[in-house]
Amino acid sequence: MRTAFGFEIGDATLDRKITLTYIGFRDKKEMGKPFVVQLPDSDVITQPMAVFYGVGKEDSIMVDRLSRNKDGKVILDSNGAVAGGELYDFLGMKAAHNAEMTEDGIPIPPGVTLPLNVHAYYLEQGKLPDGLYAEIDLQIRKLEEIVGKEFGNPDNPLLNSVRGCPRITMPGMMATILNLGITPDIVKGLEKITGNKRFAYDTYRRFIDMFSDTLFWVPHERFEKVFQDVKNTWSIENDLDLTGSHMETIAREYLKLVKDSGNQIPYDPKEQLDLAIKAVFMSAYLPQAVEYMELNNLMGKSGNTITIMPMVYGNIGEDSGTGVSFTRNPNTGENKLFGNFLLNAQGEDVVAGIRTPLPLEKLAELFPDLYKQLILAGKKLEKRYKDMQENEWTIEKRKLYFLQTRTEERTALASLIIATDLYSEKIIDEKELVERVFPNEIDVLLHPVFDPKSEKKVLGKGTGASPGDVSGIIALTPGYAKELYQRGKKVILVRRETSPEDVGGMSASKGILTKIGGPTSHAAVVGRGMNKSVVCGYGDSLEIYEGNNSNRGYILINGVKLTEGEETSTNMLSLCGSTGEVIKGEVPTIESIIAQTAIGIAKQLIGQNQTEEDRAQIRFAEEHKNSKLYRAFNEYLEICKKHSKLGVRANADTPLDAAVAIEFGAEGIGLARTEHMFFQGSKTDAIRKFIFGYTEQMKTDGLAEMKQYHKEDFKGMFKVMDNFPVTIRLLDPPLEEFTFPDNDAINRFAEQLVTHYGGDRDGVRERISQQMKSLHEINPMLGCRGNRLSVMYPKLIEAQVSGIIEAAYELKKDSYNPIVEIMIPVANCAGEIKYTREEAEKVIEKVKARYEGVNVEYKIGTMIELPGAALTADRIAGEADFFSFGTNDLTQATLGISRDDGGKFISQYTQMFYNHKDPFVTLDVERVGRLMQICVKEGRAVKPGLKIGICGEHGGDPASVEFCHKIGLNYVSCSPYRVAVAIVAVAHANLGIEHTRR
């Protein structure tokens, strides 16, 4: 029978497109109300309904009905229509890899896969296609032939696993049912054939649990409780000590549980299969899967398949078992097989983290041949998939069967090390190397670490499963974690173990601590993918007491009680995801190793070695700058820069920051905030003298001091940034920001004025207070700031510009090459830019006249940070040498949200209305981005090639950087510590890499 979807395969004219309609449920309670999302049209056409892969009797490899063309793309076999594509576009990632392992000669059971369109058809039509089961029957017969067992035959039963296989991996999200096909009759047959009652009933009870959990929503926890009760009844500690009778009892109790829930497992294996297929398909749309897809930007990009695979039994005795291995260490990147296993167990025992498994070194001792087989297979798979692989496998009576291979999550550290190693090993090329590390992984590598000098109240140690040094408030449920997150809190989620339903809460947390489970447990794998700090398997010294409506929950950890939701040093918790340390209270952090190294190098560069701390940091840099990590880091960034179009600059206000930025690869300063220079120590008094001075003399003196400070500061900056452009923003904040914190400060300043200029103390204090009042604004963000200061107080232009430009001239005279870019902030029309520009140019001309024969290159440009400016870019372009988007303010004005006050509602808006993207973190493309596009287009229409950058916080956000690349900016500028992140983002944007998965 050669039909699929009701028409014959091979009739190429019947290529109909199926529109994938996405049906999901946000909440189990809402299962009755599916929500529908339109997915992009599928290009997959006229596929067969079931594809078989496996090794035939004569060792011939069979991938039924599919074959590859010369480009390695998969096409339907001679009976089907042509449809080139990747194998996983037909079979889903997991089944595709299994088929490919079969091709590669790696031992793996055969399988039958229902490809993507079967699922699509099911969603679209609400039923499975006609003829599907006939097709499945046909294919299962091949499985029976190969393994020599028969589906439904008690005398020689074939049991199958039914595995959900999404097109793109979603670890643990889709249901899997093992041991399907077992019935009361067959369990007896199984006992008889194997003579192993324990195995037979263990297999049976596993099936009952999984099937009922998936089909009838009888929670696994209830089965688990029954299991524990039986163990308690017989006082049995270890599962392995349970006998066949125990298992029989357990299976009977399990059946009772199912019956009590009002359900009945069919006795017919084919009926079991029918229900299982439907349930596995639907599992892709359970709330946790929807949440995962949303978090990982997979909505509308997935689609699912199902693979039916004969069981191999790891639970058939002490010469059997099951394990998970990584071809390289996913925590450190080390090129060494890493993983763990359990004897006499089935797969889910390891992955679910229920029993704490053994390390692979133990396997090497017990079964050295199998260990070697694992290593060799791993290397082969790495070559095919060009990346570190995670493998699940089962040993049935000393024979190794692979069950799956996949490219698995890893820590940021491992990501960088593995990628650069693969590049050295010539497994991947430059572009692939760039693709392989994600901008936020570089960010994580630069995350702060606990200050080693701080005192830490270490409570104990679990398994460090995903690095990160974090502190936060305790939450004991995912819901509460999300709530705290929305209130702007840092959260540590503490759970017995995590499950797919916890994903949202994990995402909202900085760190995750679990009681049970090892480095391959759900918490570890998922937390690693989210770049969370994870400490797992803390053990029994951690007791968790969840709260209820009237009482807060708490934990006892080595006897210390910590209450959830309390933001106090006695209740907060800190985790070190590398060492596994769990610490009471909040621990201060310092820069990461990479950052510290860069700072040390920068200090050496600018000759800042006066204090012991400076010297210690320089020594630290000496030690670490040739480390594998630091070298990998630099090598990677260098290659990224080779593949970039956008430049990356830094926002820096001090020579040290500038030097750090250079060390990280910045190509200039995109934003030097002059007001920050006046916030330092006594420099504030200079500008205060201008603001609060009540005679011309005081004001003139204040301006002269300001100028002098600028001159000194910029000489320092220009030296470090020799030959690099330095964009200097004139004063931005309202003058109110320079007022006094308290009366003491007023008195001190008044005293200073009186000492220098004479006058009456009280009178002076009164004048200062009056002036403070008159400076007060109700909405300072929309008040007298930025260029408005220059317009209202033109003498500020003279003080600032002459300081800056004299610094440049003096250095130029000394053979440096300062490149000065003066930037006008908070302007909304061309006229005011022209005004300030002309005033500044007068000042520059005057300075120039004093340095004969010297000429400093300079530009005068403006920030675009008000919608009004973006909308008159054509006119402004006539007055400005460059634009720089100040996207913080631009976002603020466009959305009408104050960054200072937004906290109250912005997280609510982010979740409810902004697609979970905080517009102050990731550019609001639709609105703010649109203004930027208008501005770029209209500005360059007047002045082709106009240089345009961005210097808001968004300049370091990968998604925003991608947008900046798209609209043709010249550079992004961000904080020195994000320069490296931006460099990666810029390269990724240039190579068009989509960040769907992380």
Q: At what angle do helices 696-720 and 593-606 cross, to 10 degrees?
A: 110
* Nearer Cβ to a second copy (610/779): 779
Rounded to a whole number of angstroms, the minimum distance from the CB of residue 891 to a second copy is: 9
Q: Would you say 233 or 908 has its CB closer to a second copy?
A: 908
Contact between 833 and 880 (Cβ < 8 Å): yes
Beta carbons within 8 Å of 440's beta carbon, 6+ residues apart = 412, 531, 958, 981, 998
Radius of gyration of the chain (CA): 33
Cβ–Cβ < 8 Å for 170, 92: no
- Figure out which of the listed residues 564, 653, 732, 865 binds a second copy, where binding follows CB under 8 A: 865
Residue 466 or 787 having the CB closest to a second copy = 787
Extended beta strands in 238-320, E state: 304-310
Among residues 144, 777, 841, 881, which is the contact residue for a second copy, using CB under 8 A?
A: 777
**Which residue in 663, 924, 957, 962 binds a second copy (CB under 8 A)?**
924
Distance of CA 983 to the CA centre of its chain: 17
- When the beta carbons of 471 and 884 are compared against a second copy, the nearer one is 884
Is residue 872 a contact residue for a second copy (CB under 8 A)? yes
Report in angstroms how near the CB of residue 888 gets to a second copy at its nearest: 12
Tell me the closest approach of the beta carbon of residue 866 to a second copy, in angstroms: 4
* Closer of 325 and 887 to a second copy (Cβ): 887
Measuring CA to CA, how many Å separate 845 from each of 811, 852, 881? 17, 11, 17
Sign of the alpha-carbon dihedral angle for 844, 849, 852, 853: positive
Q: Which residues contact 150 (CB under 8 A, 6 or more apart)?
A: 144, 156, 157, 158
Q: Cβ of residue 893: shortest distance to a second copy, in angstroms?
A: 5
Q: Which of positions 151-180 make contact with a second copy (CB under 8 A)?
A: none
96 or 735: whose CB is closer to a second copy?
735
Is there binding between residue 879 and a second copy (CB under 8 A)? no
Please report how close the Cβ of residue 87 comes to a second copy at its closest, in angstroms: 38
Residue 556: strand pairing partners: 543, 561
Beta bridge partners of 563: 554
- Closest CB to a second copy among residues 422, 826: 826
- Point out the catalytic residue in the list 119, 522, 624, 710: 522
Q: Is 912 a residue that touches a second copy (CB under 8 A)?
A: yes
143 versus 923: smaller Cβ distance to a second copy: 923
> In the complex, what is the shortest distance from the CB of residue 694 to a second copy, in angstroms, rounded to a whole number?
18
Size of the site for a second copy (CB under 8 A): 47
Does residue 866 bind a second copy (CB under 8 A)? yes
Nearer to a second copy, 386 or 489 (CB): 489
Ramachandran category for residue 458: left, alpha or beta (phi over 0 → left; psi -120 to 50 → alpha)? beta
784 a catalytic residue: no
* Residue whose C-alpha is closest to residue 566's, from 473, 488, 459: 473
Of 222-230, 485-493, 837-845, 924-932: span binding a second copy (CB under 8 A)? 924-932
Does residue 102 interact with a second copy by CB under 8 A?
no
What track of x and - describes contact with a second copy for positions 736 through 775 (by CB under 8 A)? ----------------------------------------
User: Contact region for a second copy (CB under 8 A) — 381-389, 455-463, 652-660, 862-870?
Assistant: 862-870
Touching a second copy, residues 3-32 (CB under 8 A): none
Longest dimension (CA), the chain: 110
Smallest separation, CB 403 to a second copy (Å): 43
**Minimum distance from residue 942 beta carbon to a second copy (Å):** 15
Least separation, in Å, of the C-beta of 860 and a second copy? 17
- Report the distance separating Cα 950 and Cα 885, nearest Å: 4
User: If binding is defined by CB under 8 A, does position 829 make contact with a second copy?
Assistant: yes
Judged by CB, which is closer to a second copy: 645, or 776?
Answer: 776
- Closest by alpha carbon to 306, among 274, 334, 330? 274
Stretch that binds a second copy, among 144-152, 298-306, 743-751, 912-920 (CB under 8 A): 912-920
Residue type, 228: Q
CA-based torsion, 11, 12, 14, 17: positive or negative: positive
Exactly one of 145, 868, 917, 998 binds a second copy (CB under 8 A); which one? 868
Angle at 792 (CA atoms; ends 787, 795), nearest 5 degrees: 90
Q: Which distant-in-sequence residues (6+ apart) come within 8 Å of 516 by Cβ?
A: 353, 354, 356, 496, 497, 536, 537, 539
Shortest separation between residue 849's beta carbon and a second copy, angstroms: 21
Catalytic annotation present for 951: yes
Among 114, 720, 819, 826, interactor with a second copy by CB under 8 A = 826
CA angle 463, 468, 474 (to 5 degrees): 80
Residue 124 and residue 303: Cα distance in Å, rounded? Answer: 12
The distance of closest approach from Cβ of residue 904 to a second copy in the complex, given in angstroms and rounded to an integer, is: 5
Contacts of 325 (CB under 8 A, 6+ apart): 337, 338, 339, 360, 374, 378, 390, 391, 393
Can you tell me which of 13, 779, 815, 855 binds a second copy, judged by CB under 8 A? 779
- Cβ contact 440:405 at 8 Å: no
Determine whether 397 is exposed, middle or buried from the number of CB atoms within 10 Å of its CB (0-12, 13-18, 19+).
exposed
Q: CB 909 → a second copy: shortest distance, Å?
A: 7
Q: Which of 126, 549, 778, 850 binds a second copy (CB under 8 A)?
A: 778
Alpha-helical runs (H) found in 589-724: 593-606, 612-624, 628-642, 655-663, 674-678, 683-692, 696-720
Residue 927 DSSP label: I
Pairing of strands 511-514, 533-536: parallel
Q: How far apart are CA 45 and CA 90, in angstroms?
A: 10
| Residues between 791 and 820 with contacts to a second copy, criterion CB under 8 A | 791-792
Please, which of residues 925-954 interact with a second copy by CB under 8 A? 926-928, 930-931
State phi, psi for 253 to the nearest 5 degrees. Answer: -60, -40
Looking at 34, 780, 859, 990, which residue binds a second copy (CB under 8 A)? 780
Q: Which stretch binds a second copy (CB under 8 A): 482-490, 607-615, 696-704, 786-794?
A: 786-794
Between CA 753 and CA 801 the distance in angstroms is 26
The 890-909 contact track toward a second copy, x by CB under 8 A, reads --xxxxxxx-xxx-xx--xx
For a second copy, the closer of residues 53 and 883 by Cβ is 883
Q: How many CB atoms lie within 10 A of CB 234?
A: 12
Binding piece for a second copy, criterion CB under 8 A, among 324-332, 506-514, 837-845, 887-895? 887-895
Considering the rule CB under 8 A, would residue 921 count as an interface residue with a second copy? no
The nearer residue to a second copy, 356 or 933, going by C-beta atoms, is 933
Q: Which of 576, 640, 951, 964 is catalytic?
A: 951
- In the range 831-860, which residues lie near a second copy by CB under 8 A? 831-832, 835
Distance CA 672, CA 682 (A): 19
Give me the least distance between CB of 830 and a second copy, in Å please. Answer: 8
295 CB burial (10 A radius; 0-12, 13-18, 19+): middle
Q: Considering the complex, state which of residue 437 and residue 876 has its C-beta at the smaller distance from a second copy.
A: 876
Positions in the binding site for a second copy (CB under 8 A): 777-784, 788, 791-792, 826, 828-829, 831-832, 835, 865-868, 871-872, 889, 892-898, 900-902, 904-905, 908-909, 912-914, 924, 926-928, 930-931
Residues with catalytic function: 522, 951
